[in-house]
Structure 1
Amino acid sequence: MTVTVLMVRHAAHDNVGGFLAGRMEGVRLGPAGRKQAERLAERLRGADIAAIHASPRERCRETAEAIATACGLPAPQVAAELDEIDFGRWSGSTFAELDADPLWRRWNAVRSCCRTPAGESMLDVQQRALRYIEALAAENAGNRVAVVSHADVIKAVVMHVLGLSVDAWPRFDIAPASVTTIIGDDWGAKLITLNDVVS
């Protein structure tokens, strides 16, 4: 039986694009991000979502909580498998600082055979996210579920569905508060929408 997974990127924190937040504590939605999350939640109000799951990061939980409130759902279930990439010592660095690091440049050139300083590769991220989503799909046959996570985690899942290498990550965007829709059944999985951005 078909399951629909709405993969939602968290709404924007105050300095999205300014530095690599990674798994830093305390990176929350600012006023603009909260309004963005509210608009997204209102848009999903009639989407008939059965359950919502979220990364442990505050910005994901806050986005998921807004959706849960609008849809009359219980509190989101938090899952470590949906967490941001563990960027280790890179977390909190500006992108100008990162550009001076040869390992950062290699990571962005060949993610299929490179690890972050903390030891996590893009393939590791893809495997943990897919395991979780596959189990979630098996438990929610015939339903629609929402998963609130991070751009690279969503990209990793999309690349698997499309049969692309993880090195294809720069070829498409996953914007803050966007929805990417995947359906799955016994025949496999199919991408329905990509990076559908709330206005």
Structure 2
Amino acid sequence: MTATIFLLRHAAHDNVGGFLAGRTPGINLGPDGLAQAKRLGQTMKRESFDALYASPRERTQQTARAVAEARGGMAVETAEALDEIDFGDWSGSTFEVLNAREDWQQWNSVRSLSQTPAGETMLDVQQRALGFLRPIISGADRRIALVSHADVIKAIVGHVLGLPIDSWQRFEISPASITTIVVGNWGGKLITLNEVTP
């Protein structure tokens, strides 16, 4: 059994980096983000995969639809396990406001010992993402694409590389990027990291 998994981060919404979108409803891609998602879809035409899954957030669904359309309209399956971290009442706050909060600083310093106001930890995020993947890729050769969020992708990559959960800041996952991993009976390996769509 060998599985190839393409981990795609959603395209950038209009104010990415300005505030913590989290699970705030109604965060859609603007014209630039939609164009970025379309370019990602064109880039992914070079790859073969038999299933496409996406987080339920609007920005991931829009990105996944662009990828699906580039492949002739394949189905997009929604996967709750690929959802953004549940940041609770941090969601929607600007980073200027968040950076003044001690609990936010703790979260970004030692995530292995921290949780969000909603009670979710990075280990929770990793466990739900891996729990979703295991049954999908077990027992057969598969090639699948997942459209998710930076920290979810980092949690998966960290596991494949055997990195501690606090290593999440050591690598970047950019909007509309492609990270590829291969998993077999021998374990997993990273093939590409943060391949940015031109």
TM-score bracket for this pair, using the shorter chain length: over 0.9
Paired residue secondary structure (1:6): strand
Q: CA deviation at 1:142?
A: 2.1
Name 1:118's counterpart in structure 2. 118
Cα distance, 1:73 vs. partner? Answer: 4.5
What is the distance in 2 between the residues matched to 1:107 and 1:46?
A: 38
Query: Which whole-Å CA distance do the structure 2 matches of 1:157 and 1:40 have between them?
Result: 21
Contact kept in structure 1, 2:51 and 2:75, CA below 8 Å: no
CA deviation after TM superposition for structure 1 residue 74, in Å:
2.8
| Structure 1 segment 1-199 matched on structure 2, within 5 A | 1-138=1-138, 141-199=140-198
CA contact (8 A) 1:50 1:73 kept: no
- On the 8 A contact 2:44/2:67 being kept in 1, the answer is yes
Q: CA RMSD in A?
A: 0.9
> C-alpha separation between the residues in 2 aligned to 1:170 and 1:127?
19
In structure 1, the gaps of 5 or more residues are none
Q: Deviations over 1:53-86 (max 9, x none)?
A: 0000000000001111111243210011000000
Aligned 8 A contact 1:49 1:71 in 2: no
CA contact (8 A) 2:56 2:83 kept: yes
How far apart are the structure 2 equivalents of 1:135 and 1:181?
19
Q: Deviations over 1:73-110 (max 9, x none)?
A: 43210011000000000000000000010000000011
Task: Please give the secondary structure, in 2, of the residue aligned with 1:75.
Answer: coil
* Paired AA for residue 99 in structure 1: N
C-alpha displacement of 1:133: 1.3
Q: TM-score, normalised by structure 1?
A: 0.97
* 1:10-53 residue CA offsets vs partner (Å, 9 max, x unmatched): 00000000000000000011000000000010111131121100
Structure 1 contact 51–73 (Cα < 8 Å) conserved: no
User: Any idea what the Cα deviations from partners look like across 1:168-198, whole Å, max 9, x if unmatched?
Assistant: 1111100000000000111111111000000
- The secondary structure found in structure 1 opposite 2:138 is helix
Pairwise CA distance, 1:113: 1.1
